[in-house]
Amino acid sequence: MSEYVAEHVQDGPGVRTPNGVLRGALKDGVASFLGIPYAQAPVGALRFRAPEPAEPWEGTREATAFGATAPKRPYAPPLDALLPDPEVAGDDCLNLNVWTPWPAAGPGDGGRAVMVWIHGGSLIHGSSAVPVYDGTAFARDGVVLVSVNYRLGVEGFGVFPDAPANLGLRDQIAALTWVRENIAAFGGDPDRVTVFGESAGAISIAALLASPLAKGLFRRAVIQSGAPSARSIDVARRTTEAIAARLKVPATAEAFAGVDPERLLAAQTAVTGKGNPVLSGHTFHIAVDGDVLPDHPGDLLADGASADVELLMGTNTDEYRLWFVPGGHTERVGSLAQRFLLRKGRIPPRVAKVYREGRPQEKPGEVLGVLAADKLLRIPQNMLADYRLAGRTAATYLYEFGWPSPVLGLRACHALELGFVFDTLDLPETRALTGPDAPQALATAMHAAWVAFAKTGDPGWRPWDPARPVMTFGPGVPSLVEAPREAERRAWEI
């Protein structure tokens, strides 16, 4: 038995970590250890401060229930019915979960590939307790799966003159440091870590790829429906200042630390409630702070940051429909409103003309949504892949998820691929977005590609080259397509 396994733990799988002994749960050859603290609770003197390492405990710590989630509010209707967002009370929100094949591999076995999941949610929602993110299927297939909680909203991404910026990113770096130091105890190989995430989690990963503070903490990365994105300190501060104005307090960490957490959440929700990733509005941003991020992550990556990290990234065909369809924007946006919003979004008329001419049957709101999603996601990903190809970096792979959900006409919308990647189509929380008849064969193929990438660095198709190969997952069987919608992509280059 491995020296790391706590042999004296009874009635469950046990692991001895540097901080103490953990007892998890075992089912069908997969051990789960939930709610493990990787940093101290960010309360009291540690509120609005960089994460401090978790303290040791005595005896055996039960690890059979999810830990506390970061302070947040549920998604507003109608998204609350589509995106489950459970809340677990408590202050110790800087925690993570591990699913691993059992018995765990010992140090002499070399260890298994590790995947670390960073959830999305616009930096204000989400947690590792979302049922769709259950790590059982990854562990079943020989991967040690870790999922992470991090601070959200103003407590994680507020910008203050008297506190470090990017606290949520610093939490993620602290969690990856914990993985580096502890994952061998769970049978994982600390030198074969793949970090992956979706939406705000993917944007976070792009920042981690660019950050000198995260260098060496992972070998591979997966960016799902995200791209390098950050704002200057002055721009990123605006949402914090708007919340301060609503609270009638100074925009300082000292003042915010004195505000009741529920009152702070209420003010944050009032300020950010009308924003969304496509139409903008007040929202939180990763900040170029000169420390976690010395410069914009896109510029750093174009200049060769993480050139040795293998990268898999992609988008969904109809990203925008998650925000546009339930809210009625596809119906309400006419030609005049479309033109106004295109100007507001700084999308050149020549680019819009190409999209309109190529989509004559689509409504103005639909064309607007595709343009906005391409500007935010697909075009930056293609640019990053091109930069990496020119710089002779480690391999880059692109995918597109295109299976159309029948729910509300959402088609292949933002977040739909998650149940396929995690192979959790049978869960009711997944079916809220997919409906009851999502194709298991497609989930099997997509999940297997992620597993293969984590284990070998090759998801099973040709890496990026001048022909622009993109693996498309649905509709139908997965297939490799070269340069999809190339006329639209090229319009952005003119």
Pick the catalytic residue: 199, 204, 229, 405? 199
The mean pLDDT of 358-362, rounded to a whole number, is 96
Is 414 a known active-site residue?
yes
Which is the CATH superfamily of the domain at 14-227+305-325+379-479?
Alpha/Beta hydrolase fold, catalytic domain (3.40.50.1820)
Per the prediction, the chain carries an average pLDDT of 95
Over residues 116-164, the pLDDT tens digits come to: 999 999 999 999 999 999 999 999 999 999 999 999 999 999 999 999 9
Is 199 a known active-site residue?
yes
Pick the catalytic residue: 155, 310, 319, 417? 319
pLDDT at residue 374 is higher than 90: yes
Over residues 407-452, the pLDDT tens digits come to: 999 999 999 999 999 999 999 999 999 999 999 999 999 999 999 9
pLDDT at residue 10 is higher than 80: no
Is the whole-model pTM more than 0.85? yes
Over residues 90-101, the pLDDT tens digits come to: 999 999 999 999
pLDDT band, very low/low/confident/very high, at 110 (cuts 50, 70, 90): confident
The predicted pLDDT at position 7 comes to 43
- SS3 for the chain is CCCCCCCCCCCCCEEEECCEEEECEEECCEEEEEEEECECCCCHHHCCCCCCECCCCCCEEECCCCCCCCCCCCCCCCHHHCCCCCCCCCCCCCEEEEEEECCCCCHHHCCEEEEEEECCCCCCCCCCCCHHHCCHHHHHCCCEEEEECCCCHHHHHCCCCCCCCCHHHHHHHHHHHHHHHHHHHHCEEEEEEEEEEECHHHHHHHHHHHCHHHCCCCCEEEEECCCCCCEEHHHHHHHHHHHHHHHCCCCCHHHHHCCCHHHHHHHHHHHHCCCECCCECCCCCCEECCCCCCCCHHHHHHCCCCCCCEEEEEEECCCCHHHHCCCCHHHHCCHHHHHHHHHHCCCCHHHHHHHHHHCCCCCHHHHHHHHHHHHHHHHHHHHHHHHHHHCCCCCEEEEEECCCECHHHCECCCCCCHHHHCCCCCCHHHHHHHCCCCCHHHHHHHHHHHHHHHHHCCCCCCCCCCCCEEEEECCCCCEEEECCCHHHHHHCCC
pLDDT at residue 365 is higher than 80: yes
**What percent of the chain is modeled with pLDDT above 70?**
96
pLDDT band, very low/low/confident/very high, at 107 (cuts 50, 70, 90): low
Is 319 a known active-site residue?
yes
Pick the catalytic residue: 127, 414, 417, 429? 414
The predicted pLDDT at position 276 comes to 63
pLDDT at residue 479 is higher than 50: yes
pLDDT at residue 4 is higher than 80: no
